[in-house]
Amino acid sequence: MKHNFFHDIVSVGAARGLVVASLLLLGSATVWAHGTLIRADPAVNTQVAERPSEIRLWFNESIEYRFSRVTVHRAKRDAATGTLKPLQRVDEGLASASGVTRELAVKLPAALAPGLYLVQWTVLSIDSHRTTGKFTLTYAPKTDKANPTR
pTM: 0.73
Q: Say whether both 23 and 41 belong to one domain.
A: no
**In which band, very low, low, confident or very high, does the pLDDT at 96 lie, cut at 50, 70 and 90?**
confident
Is the predicted pLDDT of residue 120 greater than 90, yes or no?
yes
- CA–CA distance, 59 with 103 (Å, rounded to integer): 6
Range(s) of the domain holding residue 27 = 1-32
**Claim to verify: residue 16 and residue 85 sit in the same structural domain:** no
- 13-59 pLDDT tens trace: 555 654 444 444 444 444 445 889 999 999 999 999 999 999 999 99
Same domain, 100 and 128: yes
Q: For residue 127, what pLDDT is reported?
A: 87
CB neighbour list of residue 136: distance below 8 Å, 6 or more residues apart? 45, 75, 84, 116, 117, 118, 119
pLDDT for the residue numbered 84: 94
Q: Is residue 42 part of a domain?
A: yes
Residues 16 and 39 both lie in one domain = no
Does 116 map to a domain?
yes
pLDDT class of 139 with cuts at 50, 70, 90? very high
Residues 88 and 125 in one domain: yes
- Please check whether residues 9 and 41 belong to one and the same domain: no
